[in-house]
Amino acid sequence: MMLMEKNMVPPLTKDDFRLVGCEVEDYTDENFSGHSYAKEVILTLFARKSTIVSLIVILLIVAMAIFAPIFSPYTYKEVNAKATNLPMRIPGIEKLGIFDGTYNGINQYERKGVPDEYHYFGTDNLGRDIWTRVWMGTRISLLIAVLAVLLDGAVGVTYGMIAGFSGGKVDFAMQRFVEILTGIPNLIIMMLLLLVMKPGIPTICIALAITGWVSMSRIVRAQVLRLKSNEYVLASKTLGTPFHRILIKDILPNTMGQIIITFMFSIPNAIFFEAFLAFIGLGVPIPMASLGTLINDGYKSALLYPSQVLLPAIVLSVLMLSFNLLGDGLRDAIDPQMRNA
């Protein structure tokens, strides 16, 4: 018993691993310790002027979509038969001779008996304020895009992780299902959904999510196939870690970079597809407005009143461009190879 006690190794402490003859400051790499991965991503992201500008533009558009309809004296569905097809009129600026409500040299506001009204973007053929409808439509388009992308992410990430980690026959069967689903056009799915569901935001979100998750699942599957052979994953399997815990704790955090990038590029695609559906008459029901419905309404009178189609088209284009530029910046910041290129 005495011999066993003598041979017992004393417990180790952190001081046992300190370099002999050196203080902590002597062997600590301050440059490396002061730059975490998250900090490098943020510094790289905001080093590009295009990324900063696109982020500011997105935040500005989102703020306008939230607050402009709230503080507007008009609603998006308010009809005024006296104030149809009025040109733009902005207080203060009208004194400069621009945006003063004149068309062909005639003040249309006075001619139609509404001299005290101001419509920043004018009105449509039903007398509805385009300023309010544009920002309300932007809000609805953003809402549909974000909800659809969240559904895409939930389904695509789960599907891709299971397919990539399982491998073998499971992966083969799941990929064949993806190929079959990819071959079905989104437009046909949307038309079939309209037969069984009422037109609206939920229907459009479901239609966008039914096939929108495919690209996300393929990207996540490729990342899982690359990561599942790493040592830390094999160690977790050897220790008997449950299947779902390996996916959530070991693999998912290492795929977040690609998932975030795919999210950012999916949002403008969803906005454009929603606008396309609304343009062909499969969007949100009347009197609700989205950017696609506004472009569709303005397209009918584009030759006489071009601003009715140009204004929502400009907002849609700037929004999509900003999200794409922000996605490019995130891709370059998150991917170390792109960062060092």
- Residue 93 near residue 49, CB atoms below 8 Å: no
Host domain of residue 153: 44-85+123-339
For the residues of 122-142, what is the DSSP string, one character each? -B-TT--BHHHHHHHHHHHHH
pLDDT number for residue 200: 78
Encoded tokens for 45: 């992201």
Q: Distance (Å, rounded) from C-alpha 296 to C-alpha 298?
A: 6
Q: Distance (Å, rounded) from C-alpha 309 to C-alpha 80?
A: 20
pLDDT number for residue 1: 47
Q: Distance (Å, rounded) from C-alpha 192 to C-alpha 151?
A: 19
pLDDT number for residue 314: 92
Residue 29 lies in a domain: no
Residue 168 lies in a domain: yes
Residue 9 lies in a domain: no
Residue 75 lies in a domain: yes
| H-type alpha helices, 105-185 | 108-111, 130-166, 168-182
Q: Distance (Å, rounded) from C-alpha 308 to C-alpha 232?
A: 58
Strand partners, 103: 106
- Residue 252 near residue 220, CB atoms below 8 Å: no
pLDDT number for residue 336: 55
pLDDT number for residue 75: 86
Residue 100 lies in a domain: no
Strand partners, 107: 102
* pLDDT tens digit at each of 341 positions of the chain: 444 455 566 676 766 656 565 554 544 555 545 556 667 767 777 777 888 899 999 999 999 999 998 888 888 888 888 888 888 888 888 888 888 888 888 888 888 888 888 888 888 888 889 999 999 999 988 888 888 888 888 888 888 888 888 888 888 898 888 888 888 877 787 778 777 877 778 888 887 888 788 888 888 888 888 888 777 777 877 777 787 788 887 788 778 878 888 888 888 888 888 888 877 777 777 778 888 888 888 888 888 888 888 999 999 999 989 988 888 888 777 765 555 55
pLDDT number for residue 250: 78
Number of helices and strands in the chain (H, E): 16, 2
Number of domains in the chain: 1
- The enclosing domain of 176 has a CATH number of 1.10.3720.10
pLDDT number for residue 151: 86
